[in-house]
Amino acid sequence: MGKSSTLNVGAGAFVLLGFAALAFLTTQTTNHGIHLVKGGTFYDVTAKFDNIGDLKVGAPVSMAGVDVGRVVRIDLDTKQYKAVVLMQLDSKFNQIPSDSDASIYTQGLLGGKFVGLTAGGSDTYLKNHDEIGFTQSAIVLENLIGQLVANFSNKGSDSSGSSGAAPSSAPSTSPSSKPEKPK
């Protein structure tokens, strides 16, 4: 075997290793990884959100960093125009206060979305077919970037003076807007 053949085999092994790593990362960053939990008993809880971002069926539901369930269905409430998220919670976590809140978070920078529950202080607990009343929608990265770009473009036009409008903090010179002198 010559140097060229050895180099080709090494490059091929490197590419295969790269594809294997990519396949592994795909299963870890999406919510459709391999789940070994089977059986068990669950109870259903719903929550309504204004925006769920890219939350998917199968996404984890966690509380204090511990997986307590999964998202099993996502629908649209056509009367309130909100996303209805049905979650199945493991029955061993049956003492979640009924006034708890649900928020949609992102797993890392490129990870998928998941539902995070924060415990309330009620003495009553969530039970089958309850609805979580306090929710916080997903933060959509595209909206944040759009706001950031808009803020930078507004600051750029204000500092160059090309907008033609006086900044809102500048005092007005019209006689009717002068402050009155104290008496």
Give the pLDDT score at 4. 81
Six-digit token pair at 173?
């010179």
Q: How are beta strands 82-90 and 134-136 bridged, if at all?
A: unpaired
Q: How are beta strands 66-77 and 113-118 bridged, if at all?
A: unpaired
| C-alpha angle 139-44-63 in degrees, rounded to nearest 5 | 50
pTM of the model: 0.61
Q: Where are the alpha helices (DSSP H) in the chain?
A: 3-29, 141-160
Edge-to-edge strand ranges of the sheet holding 60-63: 130-132, 42-49, 82-90, 66-77, 60-63, 113-118, 101-106, 134-136
Give the pLDDT score at 154. 83
Render each residue's pLDDT in the chain as its tens digit; 183 residues.
Answer: 677 888 888 888 888 888 888 777 766 654 444 444 456 799 999 999 999 988 999 999 999 999 999 999 999 999 999 999 999 999 999 999 999 999 999 887 667 889 999 999 999 999 999 999 999 988 877 777 888 888 888 876 665 544 444 444 444 444 444 555 555
